[in-house]
């Protein structure tokens, strides 16, 4: 059944427009330097925008709206590799056919935004397909949110209602949960919540110790026991990112997570897994599936790669009417493309040990081992399409200097972690072997220039 305005003429016109847009975007297929006259325009735009925001921009970046695959064009005419995926939202790469098609189909609908009160078939289809992807777990419900932070707020409300009067949350050092008032309490970095009051009582424990993996389980269980002995039976949930992005990609083992979760279940503490960044980026659709943790999950939050955000939860945690709501699910285009992306990923050759994501991980980590400047580029690690490494003395200053030079040389990346500070890639699935060759050539050149 067709939804929205439909006729053969509309369909033909849509197909023609799709082809015209796609072919035009495909011309953005290699890096290039800025054009002098356009660079002035971009500088003016970014400086004025920084004034309006009241904050300096990370990069002198303003998109032209043109790009293809891993490449994005700036207003100054330069073209660069986007290896941070616009902070994780662009998993497939720029102007992917699914993106273009979803925009055009949404234009034929009678509204721009899918509301929570009066919904559209696209929201139903997406929710059904997402729930089908977690049939190996007890998760049975999904609620849309406007951002990853709001998805985590929904999770917190659901958990608190179920566990009342218990309110305390266990989390981990270097965790990042979001920018809302509640989530900035769960986020470990207090620089993100300076002079803000604490509304959530959160206890941060040391996370998996990369330097001493053999003792990690024993140490964390000891920390948990000590916390329990001190605070008593007052905990509602244990919040965890299975792969900590803000920390520069740190993760534990399957045995480590199972030990923690068994401890929590014995204490009647609910398990809340934050997959805002990790969703769709590991060797299985969900990181919790990759680690074999399906039986333990109570609440899972997702976002970024799907272009929509939300919260998955079990029958037991289905909240009472009125607790969760909100005006917006998302834009019609976002929900349409979310459904297309989900189908594309789950039916395509992306997951498993021989899937595209696993091969991308292997290729990047192998190339880092063979890099020509090992004294300058070091300690690379990664899981799935999430890769990070250190440069020079791993300080924040030298890392920022390297990132700015990398940007000028044609690669957009971002930092993560502190002591050490690392460079983070969220790789687009559109990368080819020739792209990877050029990327490492640029990394090596930049290292020689800067370090």
Distance CA 194, CA 187 (A): 12
Query: Is the predicted pLDDT of residue 135 greater than 80, yes or no?
Result: yes
Question: Over the chain, what is the mean pLDDT?
Answer: 96
Confidence category of residue 3, pLDDT binned at 50, 70, 90: confident
Separation between Cα atoms, residue 150 and residue 321, nearest integer Å: 18
3-state SS assignment for residue 51: helix
β-pairing, 79-82 vs 113-115, is unpaired
> Would you mind telling me the total number of residues written for the chain in this entry?
451
Counting Cα atoms < 13 Å in the Cβ hemisphere of 70 gives: 25
Two tokens at 74? 């700036």
Residues 299 and 270: beta-carbon distance below 8 Å: yes
Q: What is the longest distance spanned by two Cα atoms in the chain?
A: 70
What value does the mean pLDDT take over residues 124-135?
A: 98
* pLDDT of 279 higher than 90: yes
Q: Are strands 243-244 and 250-251 parallel, antiparallel or unpaired?
A: antiparallel
- pTM of this prediction? 0.96
Q: What is the DSSP letter of 69?
A: B
Euclidean distance between CA atoms 239 and 271, whole angstroms:
7
Show me where the domains of the chain are located.
Answer: 31-90+352-450, 111-347
Strand order from edge to edge, sheet including 63-68: 63-68, 71-74, 79-82, 411-412
Q: CA-CA distance, 16 to 387, in Å (whole number)?
A: 38
Task: Concatenate the DSSP letters of all residues of 118-138 into one string.
Answer: S--HHHHHHHHHHHHTTTTSS
At 313, give phi and psi (nearest 5°): -155, 165
The share of the chain scoring above pLDDT 70, in percent, equals: 100
State residue 235's pLDDT score. 98
Percent of the residues in the chain that have a pLDDT greater than 90, as a whole number: 95
Pairing of strands 63-68, 71-74: antiparallel
Q: Return d(Cα 150, Cα 217) in angstroms, integer.
A: 31
Backbone phi, psi, residue 290, to 5°: -60, -35
Q: Is 296's pLDDT higher than 80? A: yes
- Establish whether the linkage from the previous residue to 420 is cis, with ω within 30° of 0: yes
Which secondary-structure segment (H or E) carries 60?
Answer: none
* Proportion of the chain in helix, strand, coil states, percent, rounded to 5: 45, 20, 35
**Predicted local distance difference test score (pLDDT) of residue 2:** 81
Residues β-bridged to residue 80: 72
Work out the average pLDDT over 14-31: 98
Looking from the CA of 92 toward its CB, the CA atoms found within 13 Å total 19
95-109, 133-147, 180-194, 346-360: which has the minimum mean pLDDT? 180-194
Is the pLDDT reported for residue 1 higher than 80?
no
Dist. CA 145–CA 292, nearest whole Å: 27
Record: fold of 111-347: 3.40.640
39 has a pLDDT exceeding 80: yes
pLDDT tens for each residue of 223-242: 999 999 999 999 999 999 99
E-strand stretches of 281-401 = 299-302, 309-314, 328-331, 377-383, 386-391
Class of domain 31-90+352-450: alpha beta
Cβ neighbours for 348, distance < 8 A, ≥ 6 positions apart: 356
Cα 406–71–26 angle (5° rounding)? 155
Place 352 in a pLDDT band, splitting at 50, 70 and 90.
Answer: very high
For residue 151, the Cα-to-chain-centroid distance in whole angstroms is 13
């Amino acid at each position: 059944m067709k939804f929205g305005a439909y006729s053969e003429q509309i369909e033909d016109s849509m197909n023609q427009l799709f082809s015209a847009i796609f072919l035009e975007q495909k011309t953005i297929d290699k890096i290039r330097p800025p054009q002098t006259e356009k660079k002035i325009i971009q500088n003016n735009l970014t400086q004025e925008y920084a004034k309006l925001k009241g904050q300096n921009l990370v990069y002198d970046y303003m998109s032209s709206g043109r790009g293809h695959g891993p490449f994005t064009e700036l207003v100054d005419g330069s073209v660069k590799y986007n290896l941070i995926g616009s902070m994780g939202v662009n998993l497939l790469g720029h102007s992917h056919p699914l993106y273009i098609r979803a925009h055009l189909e949404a234009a034929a609908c009678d509204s721009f935004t899918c509301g929570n009160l009066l919904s559209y078939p696209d929201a139903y289809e997406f929710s059904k397909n997402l729930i089908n992807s977690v049939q190996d777990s007890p998760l049975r419900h999904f609620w849309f949110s406007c951002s990853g932070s709001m998805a985590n707020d929904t999770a917190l409300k659901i958990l608190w209602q179920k566990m009342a009067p218990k309110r305390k949350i266990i989390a981990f050092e270097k965790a990042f949960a979001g920018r809302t008032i509640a989530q900035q309490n769960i986020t470990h970095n207090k620089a993100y919540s300076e002079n803000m009051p604490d509304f959530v009582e959160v206890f941060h424990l040391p996370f998996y110790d990369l330097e001493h993996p053999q003792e990690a389980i024993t140490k964390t269980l000891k920390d948990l026991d000590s916390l329990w002995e001190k605070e008593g039976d007052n905990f509602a949930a244990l919040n965890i990112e299975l792969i900590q992005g803000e920390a520069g990609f740190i993760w534990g083992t399957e045995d480590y997570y199972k030990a923690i979760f068994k401890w929590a279940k014995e204490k009647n503490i609910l398990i809340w897994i934050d997959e805002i960044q990790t969703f769709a980026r590991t060797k299985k659709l969900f990181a919790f599936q990759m680690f074999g943790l399906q039986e333990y999950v109570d609440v899972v939050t997702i976002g970024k790669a799907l272009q929509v955000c939300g919260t998955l939860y079990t029958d037991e945690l289905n909240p009472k009417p009125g607790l969760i709501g909100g005006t917006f699910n998302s834009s019609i285009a976002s929900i349409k493309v979310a459904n297309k992306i989900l189908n594309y990923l789950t039916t395509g050759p992306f997951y498993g040990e021989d899937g595209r994501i696993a091969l991308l991980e292997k290729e990047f980590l192998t190339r880092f081992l063979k890099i020509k400047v090992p004294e300058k580029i070091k300690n690379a690690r990664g899981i799935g399409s999430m890769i990070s490494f250190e440069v020079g003395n791993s300080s924040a200053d030298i890392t920022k200097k390297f990132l700015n030079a990398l940007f000028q040389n044609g690669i957009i990346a971002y930092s993560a972690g502190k002591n050490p500070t690392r460079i983070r890639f969220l790789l687009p699935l559109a990368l080819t072997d020739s792209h990877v060759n050029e990327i490492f050539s640029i990394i090596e050149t930049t290292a020689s220039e800067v370090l």
